[in-house]
Structure 1
Amino acid sequence: MRPRRLLAAFAALTGLLVLAALLPGAPAVADRGSVSGSGGGSGLVAGDVDETAPATLPAMRLVRAPSYAGVRRYDRLLRVGTGTWRPAPTSVRYQWRRDGTPIPGAHKRRYRSTPADVGRRISVAVTAAAPGHRPRTTVVRIGRIAHAVPVRRTVTYSVRTRGAVPGGLRQFKRQAQATLDDARGWRARGVRFQRVRSGGTFTLWLVEARLVPSFSSVCSTQWSCRVGRNVIINLDRWRHASPAWNAAGRSLREYRHMVVNHETGHWIGFGHASCPAPGALAPVMMQQSKGRGGCRFNPWPTPAELRRR
């Protein structure tokens, strides 16, 4: 047979084979690259979720959504259930979220709210898995976290400077307000602090160190002070903290929290406090700029100070 006839016969035979494959009832041809073995387990152990389960596996079925228990306030414990799944999960994973963003290290059924959660929306993703099934995730929306104590009193304050205070005033305003708003501070007594352009219930000052005594003879160039309605922050202390604080390795930001809380505490009506016991948290009304007196440095009012009347 001539070559041209051989080619024609081969083409005809190939066409018949293709046509046969397309006819109803034609046997399926397996793609060797997609066949998976049937032996072996899923590889799941307690606490693990197999995120690589093939899409061909059936998904976990949620029968009853998880619910949560607890109070949506700062420093309160929140607990989430597992819900009901089919089949029963062999592992369940949790991821708590703040405004939709995962909270690092928050992977347990229980979660205690933090200062960073106040005013934010908290949720938790619950992922269930079982052998032979694809994992499935459901999100429990818990809601916005409130302060530990509702607002009982609103006070206003303005910010002023005295002397040479070059730059940094915007940062001072922002960080002072953050301290006064913080769930660990005097806000936990139910006091809300609102900054106004001028006037207000008290004035928060950032003052050049040499001019701090101009408010009163009881004030010194070395420390911050409170005189009447004036809460005075010494510029040197604001910029550099104090020798005792720095020697303990504490941060400048913590010192700023402490000094604003301390001097504002005087305005609220508290006097100086002493160390209650060696190793205890220092009261914020203790003169921690000068030392800790056996206590641990602490920038926030203690629970005892927050309860005082």
Structure 2
Amino acid sequence: MEVPLHRCLRRHHRRRRGPARRAAVGLSLRLLLVALVAALLPSAGAPARAAGDEPLPSLTQVRAPAIDGVRRFGRTLTADPGRWQPTPTTVRYRWYRDDVLISGVTSRSYRIRPDDVGHRISVHVHAEAPSYRRTVGTARTGLIAHRVDVRRTVRYSVRSKGRVPAVLGTFSRLAQQTYDDPRGWRGRGVRFVRVPSGGAFTLWLAEARTVPGFSSGCSAEWSCRVGRNVIINLTRWRNASPAWNRAGGSLRDYRHMVVNHETGHFLGRGHVGCPRRGAPAPVMMQQSKGLDGCRFNPWPTLAELRR
């Protein structure tokens, strides 16, 4: 009996397709087995879990951390780590100003800095113990205050004399920064408020040649104070002094110093000398001319603030 040609071809294809199909099925089963084994085994480098495949528990905070100390510039804050269960074997500290990390401070104590005034300080306590996950507790202060409260408010105005280029605005701004700085006379309780005109004194930025015109006791070389006039020599403001520059002092620090020095005269302070070799120079020392063994210092010393 003859078999049609198309039936022969169909049988031939089925005989050839059978082994290929079995091979494909076998390969699929092997791949499925490999995937299943990989899913059951921990991957390389994956962190080990506690017994029973449960994540490590956190420490229990029995008493929250706190910050002890007076919240004023110049004082020191100390972190109380609180109480934890179990007791941590390691406690680390990170300090923040308005939630921004203060770089390089990792001890339990923190000495308040000038930039902290008017801001809040917080500490993050990192507690660790074996078989427990690192747990963090936080404490925060209120606003940091100046060294002392305001005891006296002094109003002043700013003027120029002679050919002063367009630096008076910068001069006014930087002078006010000096007056507001917690390291300056503000630490004595004196608050300086700039007014458009008048005030208790006038702060001048004066071309060097005009300075002697305020008094025969003033010279074109230095800054000066005459009565209610606090005069900053433009040449000194621009360039500092030769002695200051030889010692590598910064121009910004010189400007702090000269404003504090001449304003100190207005506040009734006279010139003083170096208290001892290697000590910070009092701001009322004539640092523009030399140091006599002291170190350049643009701010009133604690002794000057307490006097």
Task: Give the TM interval when normalised to the shorter protein.
Answer: 0.7 to 0.9
- Counterpart code for 1:104: S
CA-CA distance at 1:170 after TM superposition:
2.1
- Counterpart code for 2:209: R
- Counterpart code for 2:178: T
**Secondary structure, aligned partner of 1:33:** coil
1:33 paired residue number? 43
**Secondary structure, aligned partner of 1:123:** strand
CA-CA distance at 1:138 after TM superposition:
2.1
Asked if structure 2 preserves the Cα contact closer than 8 Å seen for 1:55 and 1:134, the reply is: no
- Counterpart code for 2:40: A
1:132 paired residue number? 131
For structure 1, the 5+ residue unaligned runs are 17-28, 40-53
CA-CA distance at 1:14 after TM superposition:
11
- Counterpart code for 2:197: S
Report the Cα distance in structure 2 between the residues aligned to 1:289 and 1:167, rounded to whole angstroms: 25
1:26 paired residue number? none
Q: Among the aligned pairs, what percent are the same residue? A: 60
> Structure 1 278/36 Cα, relative in aligned 2: closer, same or farther at 3 Å?
closer
2:89 paired residue number? 90
* Aligned 1:234-245 pairs, distance under 5 A: 234-245=233-244
> Structure 1 262/135 Cα, relative in aligned 2: closer, same or farther at 3 Å?
same
**Secondary structure, aligned partner of 1:173:** helix
> Structure 1 205/36 Cα, relative in aligned 2: closer, same or farther at 3 Å?
closer
Report the Cα distance in structure 2 between the residues aligned to 1:129 and 1:58, rounded to whole angstroms: 11
CA deviations on 1:271-293 (whole Å, 9 max, x unpaired) are 11122222322211111111112
2:207 paired residue number? 208
> Structure 1 36/188 Cα, relative in aligned 2: closer, same or farther at 3 Å?
closer
Asked if structure 2 preserves the Cα contact closer than 8 Å seen for 1:207 and 1:232, the reply is: yes
Report the Cα distance in structure 2 between the residues aligned to 1:278 and 1:11, rounded to whole angstroms: 92
**Secondary structure, aligned partner of 2:43:** helix
Identify the range of structure 1 (274-283 vs 291-300) with the bigger mean alpha-carbon deviation. Answer: 274-283
CA deviations on 1:142-169 (whole Å, 9 max, x unpaired) are 1211011100111111111111111222
2:9 paired residue number? none
Q: Which has the higher helix share?
A: 2
Report the Cα distance in structure 1 between the residues aligned to 2:27 and 2:248, rounded to whole angstroms: 82
Asked if structure 2 preserves the Cα contact closer than 8 Å seen for 1:211 and 1:221, the reply is: yes
1:192 paired residue number? 191
TM-score, normalised via structure 2 length: 0.84
Report the Cα distance in structure 1 between the residues aligned to 2:255 and 2:41, rounded to whole angstroms: 67
Aligned pair count reads 288
Asked if structure 2 preserves the Cα contact closer than 8 Å seen for 1:274 and 1:283, the reply is: yes
* Aligned 1:39-50 pairs, distance under 5 A: none
1:67 paired residue number? 66
Asked if structure 2 preserves the Cα contact closer than 8 Å seen for 1:123 and 1:143, the reply is: no
RMSD: 3.0
CA deviations on 1:34-88 (whole Å, 9 max, x unpaired) are 796869xxxxxxxxxxxxxx99322333222111210000111111111122332
Asked if structure 2 preserves the Cα contact closer than 8 Å seen for 1:79 and 1:110, the reply is: yes
Report the Cα distance in structure 2 between the residues aligned to 1:55 and 1:246, rounded to whole angstroms: 65
**Secondary structure, aligned partner of 2:158:** strand
> Structure 1 56/14 Cα, relative in aligned 2: closer, same or farther at 3 Å?
farther
2:114 paired residue number? 115
TM-score, normalised via structure 1 length: 0.84
